[in-house]
Structure 1
Amino acid sequence: MPDPDTSPPFTASSDRLRRARELAARAGIDALLVSPGADLHYLTGYRAAPLERLTCLVLPVEGRPFLLVPALEEPAAQTSPAAGLDLEIVSWQETQDPYALAATRLPAVATVGVDNRMWAEKAMAFQAALPGSRQVLAGPVLSELRMRKSPQEVRALRQAGGAIDRVHARMAEWLRVGRTEREIGRDIAEAILAEGHVQVDFVIVGSGPNSASPHHELSDRVVRAGDPVVVDIGGTTAAGYCSDSTRCYVLGEPPAEYRRLYEVLLRAQRAQTDAVRPGITAEELDAIGRDVITTAGYGPQFLHRTGHGIGLETHEEPYIVAGSARPLEPGMAFSVEPGIYLAGRYGARIEDIVVCTSDGGERLNRTSRDLTVLPG
């Protein structure tokens, strides 16, 4: 298990590089190749843009690591936190082959770990430049580092949770009969930025029958009296950490069956958040809510897993799903979001971010989970 990380959430440390190399060695990987994305940000603090030109952290188990960047991106790399780490920043010119350059600087490697989000053309170019090596995914190594959040990372997630809670607390400002989902979504997006995020990651406003589609896209449907509305929203804060929370609203008096459905869902979600503790497995936590929903007769209408990890990305390890025997550990942060969806009629989902602590769980979203009835 990796050592606890004491660095601030938005500042990488040479210790993270050291632990990545140790875990790679244990996995039989001779070098890690990490392209722009959350893994590179986590390890180096450098938020590089994913461009056609190669930017890549080359992290050999033996030898000094280096960050390979296009010459025109070198100033950005040199002013990023990566410049303060124990690695060399190596720039390449437009007429150079950066993959061949990386290969010449690497010791002999039998197995290289390629980050899970590397573009296929880049992974294949590395394979051609390192013909004697075998490529494997670096994800199992890097997710071991990232899924157990440090106290500083938990604090950043707590701040992100508070920011998205402030948006939900203002929902009555925008959610009104006669407005379209798209109009409401536009106002919510502006509020996500105003309430403490630097980026809007997603806005789901599913009204009436659209609430039965878990990943509904904003539409021009006009919200009507009596409509249930599922609002699932999230963004990224300046620290780089994400928020994600879902609440349900209704414009006026909801259908009686919807109230019954919602009460079942609320019991399931509360049972799951209350059950979070070290040692419970991801599939056991999933089953707690699923059993409540199934007993009430809505089992087939719970269409998705209970939750996903969250941190520098909205979706990351660990995943709370049937078939995952991973025991929860202190520092793991994830969503708990059971849902019930009656196709063509309506649906409901309640989502909180929860952090596993040494003796239980901390719910980072604090707005009421009760069905919110707004004027119809």
Structure 2
Amino acid sequence: MLLRDRISDQGSTLFKDERKQAYLNPAGADRPLISPVPLQTLDSVRRYRLDRLRLQMKEWDCSALLLYDPVNIRYAFDSSNMAIWTMHNPSRYALVVADGPAIMFEFEGSEHINDGLPDIDEIRTSKFLFFTSGNLVEHRMTDWADEIADVMKSHGRNTRLAVDRLEPAPASELLKRGLELLDGQELAERARSIKSLQEIELMRWTIRVCEAGMARMYEVSEPGRTEREIWTELHFENARSGGEWLETKLLTAGPRTNPWYQECSDYVIKHGEMISFDTDMIGPYGYCADLSRSWTCGHVAMSDKQSELYSAALDQIEHNLSIIRPGMTFVDFNEKSWRIPEKYLPYRYTLAVHGTGMADEWPGILLHPDFDQNFTGVIEENMVLNVESLIAEAGSESIKLETQVLVTSRGAERLDSFPWEEI
């Protein structure tokens, strides 16, 4: 039975919101959402992303790019293998040569997971990891560095190598071989910041899955539920529909919403308390749906204080949405952005806007009290930005709202459409 048909333990029928019900998975509770995106679109995205990296490498006069971050590897090759585990166990890596091959160094025994990926020219076995090398790590690290240097010597036009993530010892080995190391994370994130139309198609699908999960969360936001129970609904919809992981567990209720950044717990939510959350969802195709909403437990009318806070948060979202234009500098955005009232200042969220792609990414533009005038950059067409708000004051709950937008020649086009609450 759906929540809208239940009777709460307070004895009143929970609020039925047809606008949100429309986002539920039409396949029903027992079926995942199946992506309608054709393979041709995915192949186009793969070519575009690798070309973006190589274009950035040429602008930096960089011969090759060594990637360990699994998000960057996914961007370059659409190759994913134990992404969470390899975030803290650097056991697979990619080497992209600007004018040469694209090589995937795969975790031993799983080379086959790259079958069918069109932009990988060669698959080799990864060379070293302390976890499996132990006292043999120095010898294996030497072989690893020799192999990287050999590829550079054979295919590179210079000795400049960009690396996104590397520990001191292997970095030192590369320097010993005459390589000049550059910041590969900056290179990758600048490349990732401009999306193709086909990337947006993939991102729209991830957002569709996320909103189906949010609708499930809405349906179970009833008194007596714990924060974890509600958060789980999003995780469930993402996992069964081909998604990856949730970057955070930011769902809290009532007094636990303030201060922000507490993770969901076994707190039992009471009738009328505000439930606030941030999805931070890495979904199908590896793209991020980073959406925030707040609503009352039991979907009852907000109190006067809840309404005041919610109105302020929505004002911030709508104002900052309205000013976004391609060609606007970060400084110009900051000067024109919404000004947070003084009473909310101590409880503010640090970000006004940030980039989003396969995760939260550059640029992260801070809220005006924290903005540094030396932070330079330009909002460009085909960036995807998230517009943020967190509003709270002493002793109140927090309202968290966030929307994901595409920067077009006309301004900001929202990619999500899950309804705001009626105040």
Q: Which residue of 2 aligns with 1:87?
A: 121
Verify: 1:128 aligned to 2:173, yes or no. yes
Q: Secondary structure at the match of 1:368?
A: coil
Residue of structure 2 aligned with 1:42, choices 56, 64, 75: 75
CA distance in 1, matches of 2:166, 2:235: 29
The Cα shift of 1:303 comes to 2.8
**32 and 226 in structure 1: CA distance in 2 versus 1, 3 angstrom threshold:** same
Identity of aligned residues (%): 22
Q: Which residue of 1 aligns with 2:4?
A: none
Q: Which residue of 1 aligns with 2:187?
A: 141
The Cα shift of 1:11 comes to 6.1
Residue of structure 2 aligned with 1:336, choices 387, 398, 402: 387
Deviations 1:194-249, CA, capped at 9 Å, x for gaps: 56645444442211121123322111222123312212224333322121211111
For the 8 Å contact 2:48–2:196, the answer to whether it is kept is: no
Q: Secondary structure at the match of 1:220?
A: coil
The Cα shift of 1:253 comes to 4.5
AA in 1 matched with 2:110: E
Q: Which residue of 2 aligns with 1:173?
A: 219
CA distance in 2, matches of 1:348, 1:297: 14
Q: Which residue of 1 aligns with 2:320?
A: 272
For the 8 Å contact 1:268–1:288, the answer to whether it is kept is: no
Verify: 1:162 aligned to 2:162, yes or no. no
Q: Secondary structure at the match of 2:362?
A: strand
CA distance in 2, matches of 1:176, 1:330: 41
Residue of structure 2 aligned with 1:69, choices 96, 106, 119: 106
TM-score, normalising length from structure 1? 0.83
Q: Secondary structure at the match of 1:72?
A: coil
Q: In structure 1, list runs of 5 or more residues that go unmatched.
A: 1-6
Q: Secondary structure at the match of 2:53?
A: helix
**209 and 360 in structure 1: CA distance in 2 versus 1, 3 angstrom threshold:** same
CA distance in 1, matches of 2:208, 2:263: 25
Q: Which residue of 2 aligns with 1:3?
A: none
Q: Secondary structure at the match of 2:321?
A: helix
Verify: 1:112 aligned to 2:161, yes or no. yes
Taking the TM superposition and a 5 Å limit, the aligned residue runs for 1:324-363 are 324-363=375-414
Q: How many residues align?
A: 356
Verify: 1:20 aligned to 2:53, yes or no. yes
For the 8 Å contact 1:12–1:43, the answer to whether it is kept is: no
TM-score, normalising length from structure 2? 0.74
AA in 2 matched with 1:74: E
CA distance in 2, matches of 1:204, 1:371: 23
The Cα shift of 1:151 comes to 0.3
Of the structure 1 ranges 329-338 and 9-18, higher mean CA displacement relative to structure 2 is found in: 9-18
The Cα shift of 1:103 comes to 1.9
Q: Secondary structure at the match of 2:354?
A: strand
Q: Secondary structure at the match of 2:75?
A: helix
CA distance in 2, matches of 1:208, 1:105: 57
Instruction: Please give the root-mean-square deviation of Cα atoms over the aligned residues, in Å.
Output: 2.9
